Chains A and B, each alone.
Chain A
């Protein structure tokens, strides 16, 4: 449902989610960066966490959404420790850290392949990228 949608459409969907009462309004976190930015997070009762970085991150300098699933709804989500996994645009589960996945390539003898594999996995969980 969300795959391929532009950022504006995703923001509109989140507005609708809030106005229909399915989720509270976003919490704002100031990230030191760079780039310094205000990240918005929406937390659903079932532990689904939506993050929006208007300036992107080191991997992609563009506005991006990510969807994550908390391991324990009662604990905070300030670090990745309480995140079980991220969700790909296809709906599949994606590792939350690059070091959580078994990359079949060696970063020493096959750095290009290693990086391509890593970036494919990381990009899979970035919504709003066209």
Chain B
């Protein structure tokens, strides 16, 4: 029913570190750079980075998705602006939250849904189509590093210039090594060139994968040379894989990735 909901813990405080860790690991979710403790659940990993950039550029940007406000004694979820994919992803968060915490759930001071949620589950608040749909990235490879400025980038991909940093990040080399170790998902004849430095040739513009994410082969070059920032969810994913691409990935079973 796409309500705005408030969750208060029944017998203790919310552990915000755990909740942040969970949200940070979602490829479609990011924290508002201007307002800490405000997360935006976009629903689509492909547009989450774009939405983050929009939010960076304009702090008053209207959210494209659902909004989660975190505090130790209350979590508010604003769902009015959410797409079906964002609602489905928000439901996944609330399923996790209500499994972990016994919560009081209310819409306002007149409507308390706690008993209903305890009896029927949080998913019962959502329409059949929303709660039974897969997450938007469950049946797709998640793209990372398809900067709009690149020849093989996405139209609404992030800007590589804005992703560059002056200094190397702590994990840049490990990330670049991970990216180099990806399995070739699609061979590409053309050569990728450095768009930031006079079209210097980098190497074949293959697409690589670890079975979950897909990235252009030149991404490691930009990480090493320009220290580009990669999405937090991807970095967490790589860390979870112990900084090594899984050795065996059934490439024939991977979903088709549509380049745009």
Contacts and interface: CB of A to CB of B under 8 A. Distances in A.
A107 B44 contact: yes
A31 B1 CA distance: 17
A30 interface: yes
B250 interface: no
B64 A115 contact: yes
Contact of B44 (A33, A78, A108): A108
Given A59-B80, A79-B1, A79-B107, A32 B87 contact: no
Interface residues of A, number: 27
Contact of A57 (B6, B74, B80, B109): B80
Interface stretch (B45-53, B91-99, B173-181): B45-53
B62 A29 contact: no
Query: Chain B: interface secondary structure?
Result: loop
Given A99-B82, A118-B81, A79 B111 contact: yes
B80 A78 contact: no
Contacts of B107: 78-79
A78 B64 contact: no
Given A32-B74, A34-B69, A99 B110 contact: no
A115 B47 CA distance: 12
Interface string B74-88: 101010111111010
Contact of B81 (A29, A32, A33, A58): A58
Contacts of B63: 58
B260 interface: yes
B221 interface: no
17 contacts: A29-B110, A32-B74, A32-B76, A32-B108, A39-B108, A57-B78, A79-B1, A79-B111, A80-B3, A98-B82, A99-B2, A99-B82, A99-B84, A107-B85, A108-B44, A109-B155, A112-B156
